[in-house]
A and B are shown apart, each in its own frame.
Chain A
Amino acid sequence: MRLNRSIKHLSLIIISLFFVACSDVTKPIDTEVYLPIGMDKDGCMRYRLKPTTQMSAQVIIYKSINGGYTPNKNTSNCR
C-alpha cells in the first residue's frame, strides 16, 4: 500500500513537473510570445516575435507606449 501510495505521489510529482516545465505550450496555438533579446545602444529593450507553433517575421520589436508591441522604435516606450 505504502509502495502504491509512493508511486501515486511520484507520478503526481512527475506530471506536475511536466506541466510546469511545459507550461508555455499549453497556450493557444497561435499565441504570440515576445522574447527579449537585449538592449540596443540607446538602452531600449528589443524583442523578437516567437509564436508557439508557427514561423514568425524576423523583425526587431519594441514595447510601445501603450503597452503593446511595435517595430517602430520612435513609438516605443523608451523614446
Chain B
Amino acid sequence: MLVKLKIPAILFSSALLLSGCGGGGGGSSANVAPDTQESVPDSTPVSVAADYRTTEYNTQYGLGKINADDIYADGYSGSGVVVGVIDTGVDIDHPDLVGNIASGGYDYVSGDTDASPTGQGAGMSHGTHVAGIIAGMKNDVGMHGVAYSAKILPLRAGDSSGSFASSAIENSIDRAISQNAKVINASFGGSSISTALADKWKLAHTNDIITVHAAGNDGGSNPLLGAQLPLHSGYEDLSSTLIAVVATNSSNTITSYSNRCGSAKNWCMTAPGDGIYSTVAVDDNNYASNYGTMSGTSMADPHVAGAAAVLRGKWPSKNASEIVTILYDTATDLGAAGIDDIYGRGLLNLDNALFAQGVLTISTASGASYSLADSSIQVASNMGNSLNGLLSMSVFDKYKRDYSFDMNGVIHYASESGLVDELNYSDTNYSSATDDLQLSVNLQDNSAKMTTQLNEVNVGFAHNTLYNSENISGFSKQYSLFDNAYLSQLKGSSSIQIAKDNATLELLSGYWDADNEQAIKEVGVSFLNDFNDDFYIKARLSYLEEDETFLSNYFSNAYKTGKAKTHALSLTSSLKPTANLNIIAQYSQGNTQVDSLSDSVISDISLLKSQYYSATVLNKNVYFDNDALFFSLKHPLQITQGSLNLSLANGLNADDSISFVDRRIPITASALSNEMSLGYTANYAKNSQASVLLNRANVLGSSIQLENQLMLKMTKKF
C-alpha cells in the first residue's frame, strides 16, 4: 500500500490530487503538468595525479570535474567495496564491467539471478550506464568509473522502460544489505514513496550503508521524495547517510532539468550529470557501440556513489555517516556562499576529500592527542643523527583519518656555535682583583664571575659562565681550556661555589634555551690533587637534573619526556712542563636515567651512557708577548649507549581505534667524529689583535658532515 509521508504541502500537491482522483492505491500522478523549466592501497602508489589523466579518464569528463586523479595517484579506487546498483539491470558481460561485477546480484523484475537488462526500451541501458560511471574498469578501453576497483552488485528493480516497482526496490535493498554493500546507488525516484520502502531505506541506514539518490529531472526547486526522507518524522537520522544529488553540466552549472537541492540542501550535493559517457548494454539498439552518453540526475548520482566507494575503500574503519560528512565538507562551494538551495553542499571534490582537513594531531597509546605543529624534537649533538630516517607514523585529521607522516620533519638539530659566532667575538673582559675579591665581567656574552674569601673559604658567584672554564685570550668560551661537557650548551645560568682547600662544592641553575624554559640544575663536588706546582688532577662528581630535557635534547608535547637525572664523573689533568706551556686532558662519563611519561609517544628511554674527552696544548709567548698558540683534539659529548622506545600510531583498526606499534631506536651518536682546532692569536699592536683558527668540526643535520673551517680575524679597538 502506498502512503504519503508528511511533507510540506507544496511538495505534495500532486499526491493530494491523486488521492482525490485515484480511488486509493495511487501514489504518483500523471496529471502533473511538466515543469518547463584502504588500509592498504588498491595499487602501489607509483606516480603523480597527471599519470592518471589518461584517455579513459578524459573521455568521461565527469572524472576531471570531481578531481578524481589525486586519490588514484594515492593508490585508492574503491577496492574491497561493494556498491549496490538498484536499477534496470547491468550488462554483467560488458567488457568494461565484467571484471567488476560482484556475485550475488538478482533480477527482481524477472525473478532470477541474472540481473542483466532485457527488452529494448529507453531504460534498457540505464543501469549499465550507471554501473559504468561507478566502476567501469580501468583497462585502457572506453572509459573508467570513479571507483574503478570497486565491485558492482547488480540489482534489477526496473524494467527496460525505466519503471521501478516499489517491492522490487525493497527486495533489492534487503539483498544489498545481505551482500555487504557499503553504498547503494538509487538513480530513480518518484513523487511518492511507500512506508515499506521508506523503512527499507532506514534499514540500509542502520546497516551503515550510504544511499545516494538522484534528485530528479523535474527542474523543480526540491528533490524527489526518496531524497527528502529525512524531512519526515521517524526518518530524520537518514540525513547522515542519505545523499541527494543534483546535476551540473560541464561548466559546473546546474542543468535546467535538474531538481534543486531545496529543502534537502543539508544532505544534498551536485555532480556532473549532463552528457556523461559510459557503458551501455551491448545489445541495446539505442546505441551503435558499447558506450554512449546519457544525461540526468541519474548520471550525477553514480559519481557520488563512486566517490563514496573510493573513500570507504581508503578508510574502511569510517562509518557511513563519517564518509558522508567528509564528502559534504570537502565539496567545492557553488552558487551562493555556503549551503544553498540550488547546489546544497556544493560540487563533489574527491581531491579535497583525500587530503587531510583541519589540525593534524599525534595520538599516543594512552589516548592523549597533540597538535602535530606544536610537537618537535630538538636534537643535541650528543645524539648525533641517530633518529634520522628511522620513523614514520600515522597522524590524524579532524575526521580521525590517518595519514603517514615522516618524523624527520619534526627533528631539528641544535646549531652549534660556528665560526661566524667566533668571528663576531671579541674580548671585552674587564677584571679587577684585590686580596679578597676577584671580579671579571665579559660584556660580549653577558657573563660575570666573582670570588671572595671569607675566612678560609672561597665563595663565588658566576652568571652565564662556569667556574672551571678558562678562555684562551682572543677566543670565545667555546675554546676554553677547561670544559664541563654536560653543561657546555647552557644558554643561561647562575651558580654559586664554595671552596675550601682543594674541595669545591658548586650549585648551578640554568637553562638550555634562550627562553628560560628548559631548566637544568646541577650539584657538583670536585677534589683537586696537587702533585706539584706544575701538575694536578681534579675529579668532579656531578648530579644534573633536567625537567623536560635529557642531556639538552628537547622532546616537546607529543614526544615529551620526564625528568632526567644524570650522574657524571669528570677527570681533568693539567701539566705545565714550562712556564708557557700547558697541557690539559679531560675525560667525562655519565649515566642518565630519564623518566617516561604515559601520555607521550616516547614510551620508554633506557639508561643512557655518555662520554666526552679532549686534550689541549697551549703555548703562550711563542712569537710575541701574550700571543697564544693552541691545538685541541676533542670528542664531543656522545651518547654511547641507550635507546628510545616509541609507541607510534600505525593506522586504524577495523573498529576505528588507533593501532600502535612499538619501535625501539638506538640513539647512540656513532657518527660523531673527533674534532680538531688549531688556533693562534697575537696582540701585534696596541688594541690590535689578529687571530687565525683552523677547525675540523662535526656539522649536524640529517647526516653528519665533518667540515674544515678557516677563520682569519683582525680586530682593532678604538
Contact = CB atoms under 8 A, between A and B. Distances in A.
A37 B36 contact: yes
B164 A22 contact: no
B7 to A, nearest CB: 16
Nearest to A27: B30
Contact of A58 (B32, B188, B193): B188
B226 A55 contact: yes
Given A54-B28, A54-B190, A57-B188, A71 B122 contact: yes
A30 B88 CA distance: 15
Contact of B22 (A22, A64, A74): A22
A56 B189 contact: yes
Contacts of A30: 159, 163
Contacts of B187: 57-59
A47 B28 CA distance: 17
A3 interface: no
B165 A25 contact: no
Interface in B16-67: 18, 21-22, 25-32, 34-37
Nearest to A46: B257
Contacts of A54: 28, 163-166, 190
Contact of A59 (B36, B226, B294): B294
Contacts of A37: 34-37, 217-219, 257
B104 interface: no
A53 B31 CA distance: 12
A68 B122 contact: yes
A25 to B, nearest CB: 5
B296 A58 contact: yes
Interface in A11-67: 18, 21-22, 24-25, 27, 30, 32-33, 35-38, 46, 48-61, 64
A58 B298 contact: yes
Contact of A21 (B2, B21, B36, B123): B21
B529 interface: no
A24 B30 CA distance: 6
Task: Report the contact-size class of chain A (Cβ under 8 Å from the partner).
Answer: 35 or more
Contacts, number: 160
B202 interface: no
Contacts of A56: 123, 158, 162-164, 188-190
Contacts of B162: 32, 49, 51, 56-57, 59
Nearest to A71: B294
Nearest to A63: B122
B299 to A, nearest CB: 7
A57 B158 contact: yes
A24 to B, nearest CB: 3
Among A25, A27, A32, find the residue whose CB has the most chain B CB atoms closer than 10 A.
A25
Nearest to A49: B162
B28 to A, nearest CB: 6
A69 B21 CA distance: 28
B186 to A, nearest CB: 9
Contacts of A52: 26, 28, 30
B161 A58 contact: no
A60 to B, nearest CB: 4
A74 B28 CA distance: 31
B619 to A, nearest CB: 95
A55 B126 contact: no
Interface string B265-309: 000000000000000100000111000111111110100000000
Nearest to B122: A69
B256 A38 contact: yes
A21 B33 CA distance: 13
B123 A57 contact: yes
B87 interface: yes
A51 B36 contact: no
Contact of A60 (B164, B226, B294): B294
B184 to A, nearest CB: 14
Counting from the closest, the 3 A-B pairs by CB-CB distance are: A24-B30, A22-B21, A57-B162
10 contacts: A49-B163, A50-B32, A51-B164, A53-B25, A53-B28, A55-B166, A56-B163, A57-B123, A58-B298, A72-B292
Interface of A: 18, 21-22, 24-25, 27, 30, 32-33, 35-38, 46, 48-61, 64, 68-75
